[in-house]
Structure 1
Amino acid sequence: MNVLAPYDGSALAETAVKRAAEFDTGSEVIVVTVIPEDRRFALERGWVEEHETYDPAAIEDRFAQTVAEIAPAATFRAEYPEFSTPTIATVHDEIARTIRMVAHEIAASVVFVGSDNAGRVSTPVTSVGNPISKDPDYDVHIVRHT
């Protein structure tokens, strides 16, 4: 039984990682960060400041260090999505697709998602939680409070 927790640097994602580690019952906890090559996305997420150069490898290093501090036994993994259909898919679509791909690859039985939007009746365009929570192959724990 593997447990997956996507991490994007947000407070809710950090809480989801902590809860995944607490949930751990001898299973492997894998924390995945999806890092698109989209500087605008990085700015929106607060990964970089306007005057900074966007360096995805530096984001990976920073997140790996943070995850090691909050869940030392967890395995950190960074993914760099390749846009298969750039005219149709959004960055958020590709992030959700990548997280689902990792969940299937590691045979996750539970995915912990930090989102204040996932699972609500009206889903914002920016939520990756909704597509992840629709997959019937694993349970989903949605963390809405830090």
Structure 2
Amino acid sequence: MTFVVPFDGSEMATAALARAVEYADALDEEVVAVSVVSERKRYAREKGWIGEEQAFDVDNVVSRLRDQVTELAPDATFEHERIREYPPAREIANEIASVAEQYDPTVMFLGSENVGRVVTPLTSIGANVASDLTYDVYVVRHTTPPRLDEIEAHPEFYQDTTT
């Protein structure tokens, strides 16, 4: 089994990666983090990868995402795709699915506050990735760990584990 985590460095993606690592540790499975980086400045600013006046260097963003993954999940594999255009959610989801397919995942861990709601925003990457029926989807909606005795929580991933 392989657990795949779309990773953009956000708080929810970080929580999803942490959750995937916790489950992977318990089940002795592999984790793959997948980042899709657009070469467009506007997208980088929206993701918080660069500031308003900061120059955009795609390689620098990829390096920082890789460093975040390595810090949180040293044994995880990091994959990334670069795309030229300003990406609609469906295209990012397709890129993630394409990379994930190489690993034949059994579970996709999605960090999202809105995946699976009755009304799904058209811009939801998670909703598009979750529509693939070849793997199960674990939706991480909270940044704090689950309360399962069998799963060893990694408190270093979480800012506040008292919630």
TM-score computed with the length of structure 2 as normaliser: 0.82
Moved over 4 A (4+): none
Residue 94 of structure 1 deviates from its aligned partner by: 1.4
SS at match of 2:38: coil
Are residues 1:106 and 2:103 paired? yes
Question: 1:4, 1:61 → 2: CA distance?
Answer: 19
Question: 1:116, 1:104 → 2: CA distance?
Answer: 25
Residue 123 of structure 1 deviates from its aligned partner by: 1.0
What is the total number of aligned residue pairs between the two structures? 141
Question: 2:33, 2:142 → 1: CA distance?
Answer: 19
SS at match of 1:32: strand
Q: Which residue of 1 aligns with 2:88?
A: 91
SS at match of 1:80: strand
Q: Which residue of 1 aligns with 2:7?
A: 7
Q: How does 1:132-143 map to 2 (within 5 A)?
A: 132-143=129-140
SS at match of 2:17: helix
Q: What letter corresponds to residue 2 of structure 1 in structure 2?
A: T
Q: Which residue of 1 aligns with 2:118?
A: 121
- Of structures 1 and 2, the larger Rg is shown by 2
Gaps spanning 5+ residues in structure 1: where?
A: none
Gaps spanning 5+ residues in structure 2: where?
A: 144-163
Question: 1:3, 1:82 → 2: CA distance?
Answer: 27
Percent same amino acid among aligned pairs?
Answer: 41
User: Residues 89-133 of structure 1, C-alpha deviation per residue, up to 9 Å, x if partnerless?
Assistant: x43221111111122221011000101111111111221011111
Question: 1:138, 1:81 → 2: CA distance?
Answer: 24
Residue 12 of structure 1 deviates from its aligned partner by: 0.5
